[in-house]
Structure 1
Amino acid sequence: MRAWVYDRLSAKASSDHYDPHTGFDWPPALPGDEYWFSPELLSVHGTEYADELSDKQLCTLSRWESVNFYSVQVHHIRDLLVEVMRRVHTPGFEVPSEFFHHLVGEENEHMWFFATFCLKYGGRIYPDDRLRPPCAGLDPALEDFLAFARILVFEQIVGHYNARLAADTRLHPAIRQLNRIRHQDGSRHIAFGARLVRLLWERLAEAGPGEDGRRAAGRCLSEYLRATMASFYSPAAYRDAGLAAGSDLRKRLLDHPARRAAHARVLHETTGFLDRIGVPVTV
């Protein structure tokens, strides 16, 4: 990556810096009779299961799906921080390491934001129940690529939600502000990540990983995309919302054509980018 790119992004990160402990107003409580999550983003949207729920039930579900959404981000950000810190100021990452410090600082603040929201308004952080695809033991260069590709695609996925939530006037201003801050920082992370991932893929191609390496990368990222989307369907959130048979409902929703189509819309930017650089993924 050219030095001027990370210099520009680092300067932007510095100019946009805020103190999360003093720059955010946490209301004592959020209204229980309002949406905490845009109805169109709920995991039941577009299905017959949504039609069976009253507006009050949908509001309740939005509360717990909101808590799950931020819980998922707490867990993903923790993984992100580990991966970045393993590589900061190491051979091959000399140029982007300056921006890594901004990335780590901002993501740590996001994790604090989301954990605070979950504990303050939901009384819990849902546990991490993701199924992790078996992608260990690969070539180190391929592992570097996959680490930052996963970071990028997660930023792109949650960015889709953050932008929608930040603009939804039906939501409490505190919820909109939380997502607006995340989206503002995430936009820089996506710009940075897209350049770094493309560079790492080009390096990998020059090293000649062959067709097996390309397929391994595509397989690992495909599984990651599916697992990430599935994490937004929480049996625990369904139970807290008073919906019966949470695990069975999750399976039925994940298999539902309307939800598969919704996933394709969320992942459109991500799959398009991976296709352009030559990474074969299926979702």
Structure 2
Amino acid sequence: MTTDLAADERFKTVLDRLTGLSQRDYYNPYSLFEWPESLPEDAWWMSPELLSVHGTGYGGTLTGEQLRAVSRWESLNFYSLNVHGIRELLTALVARIHTEEFALPSEYFHHVIGEENEHMWFFATFCRRYGRIYPVRTLGLAGPGVPEADHFLVFARLLIFEEIVDVFNQRMGVDERLHPTIRQVNQVHHQDESRHIAFGRQAVALLHSRLRDRLDRSRLDELERYLKRYMRSSVDSLVNPAVFRDAGLPEPYRVRREILADPAHEEYTRRVLRRSVDFMVNEQIFADDGIPPACAN
């Protein structure tokens, strides 16, 4: 892999550009954010269109006050998922930085590690100040059993995670219905994630192109099935019964099952995953844009 990556001039050019942008756009988050003592609890904390209940039959039964309560706790769940996802990302990068296989991108890894550590800090700070950090829900996905694809799967999962998050960041960063602190957190994260996504797409495309020369069709298909299951589980993790409990809704597990079974959740899933799925199809990583149905567990 070392020779292949090092020989790819486009990848080298992208890395140089992203490293330069990271240096140019560097900021100190510890002095950038001014955290108010509290945020109004009766306001929107997440764009209503991004709520898991949006457009569902159950969501239509909720009052405006209940919807705003859901928005508060779904906002905190979203930032909690970022904390846990960033921890996985950092673990993966630290394990690979300055190894033979990843000698070329290691310089840029230093910037990503620093930026992601700061992202984890401000997401965790938001959660701890204004609510709590929700514990991670284990996805429980069995791996595809293709050892040659370990690097590819790590970077593919990280890319999927970052692209899902950025869908929310872009919308909430400019939503005037949200408190300025909420908008700022999302704006700042989107600024950095646009670079990380650009890197991730290059890395995932290159790693998969190498695998196509080494793996037969059946194993490539298994990688596709695994990543599609990962996508589904990632979106379904946004529907958290602990959120509904904290928002004061009765029978939170029943609420989750009802939302996951609602046709509106499929449209929500397609909307959140559209950019990631289109990329995977265009790069011949996926044969089609189908995603497995939700599992109401």
Superposed pair shares fold, TM > 0.5:
yes
Please tell me the residue identity of whatever aligns with 2:138. R
Equivalent residue number for residue 134 of structure 1? 142
Deviation at 1:4, TM superposition (A): 2.2
Deviation at 1:136, TM superposition (A): 6.5
Rounded Cα–Cα distance in structure 2 between residues aligned with 1:180 and 1:72: 17
Matched, 1:271 2:277: yes
Rounded Cα–Cα distance in structure 2 between residues aligned with 1:202 and 1:130: 30
Q: Say which of 58, 65, 72 aligns to 1:56.
A: 65
Any gaps of 5 or more consecutive residues in structure 1? none
CA contact (8 A) 2:57 2:262 kept: no
Matches within 5 A, 1:157-172: 157-172=164-179
Q: Deviations over 1:105-143 (max 9, x none)?
A: 111111111111111000x2111113231117532x301
Q: TM-score, normalized by length of structure 1?
A: 0.96
Rounded Cα–Cα distance in structure 2 between residues aligned with 1:254 and 1:103: 34
Please tell me the residue identity of whatever aligns with 2:34. D
CA contact (8 A) 2:235 2:269 kept: yes
Equivalent residue number for residue 230 of structure 1? 236
Please tell me the residue identity of whatever aligns with 1:162. N
Larger deviation: 218-227 or 170-179?
218-227
CA contact (8 A) 2:83 2:120 kept: yes
Equivalent residue number for residue 86 of structure 1? 95
Matched, 1:97 2:106: yes
Rounded Cα–Cα distance in structure 1 between residues aligned with 2:78 and 2:158: 17
Rounded Cα–Cα distance in structure 1 between residues aligned with 2:248 and 2:87: 30
CA contact (8 A) 2:144 2:226 kept: no
Rounded Cα–Cα distance in structure 2 between residues aligned with 1:282 and 1:114: 32
Please tell me the residue identity of whatever aligns with 2:87. R
Rounded Cα–Cα distance in structure 2 between residues aligned with 1:225 and 1:263: 9
CA contact (8 A) 1:132 1:224 kept: no
Matched, 1:144 2:151: yes
Any gaps of 5 or more consecutive residues in structure 2? 1-7, 292-297
- Aligned-partner SS, 2:31: coil
Matched, 1:23 2:32: yes
Rounded Cα–Cα distance in structure 1 between residues aligned with 2:156 and 2:217: 18
Q: Deviations over 1:136-168 (max 9, x none)?
A: 7532x3010010011111111110010000010
Q: Deviations over 1:48-96 (max 9, x none)?
A: 2222111111111111011100011111111111111111111221111
Q: Say which of 85, 110, 113 aligns to 2:122.
A: 113
Rounded Cα–Cα distance in structure 1 between residues aligned with 2:95 and 2:219: 22
Rounded Cα–Cα distance in structure 2 between residues aligned with 1:175 and 1:80: 23
Larger deviation: 56-65 or 173-182?
56-65
CA contact (8 A) 1:6 1:96 kept: yes
Rounded Cα–Cα distance in structure 1 between residues aligned with 2:13 and 2:86: 27
Rounded Cα–Cα distance in structure 1 between residues aligned with 2:27 and 2:102: 27
Larger deviation: 86-95 or 5-14?
86-95
Rounded Cα–Cα distance in structure 2 between residues aligned with 1:245 and 1:27: 33
Q: TM-score, normalized by length of structure 2?
A: 0.91
CA contact (8 A) 2:58 2:258 kept: no
Q: Say which of 241, 246, 262 aligns to 2:268.
A: 262
Rounded Cα–Cα distance in structure 1 between residues aligned with 2:36 and 2:104: 41
Identity over aligned pairs, percent: 47
- Aligned-partner SS, 1:48: coil
- Aligned-partner SS, 1:247: helix
Equivalent residue number for residue 14 of structure 2? 5
**Aligned pairs, number:** 280
Q: Say which of 202, 208, 218 aligns to 1:195.
A: 202
CA contact (8 A) 1:130 1:227 kept: no
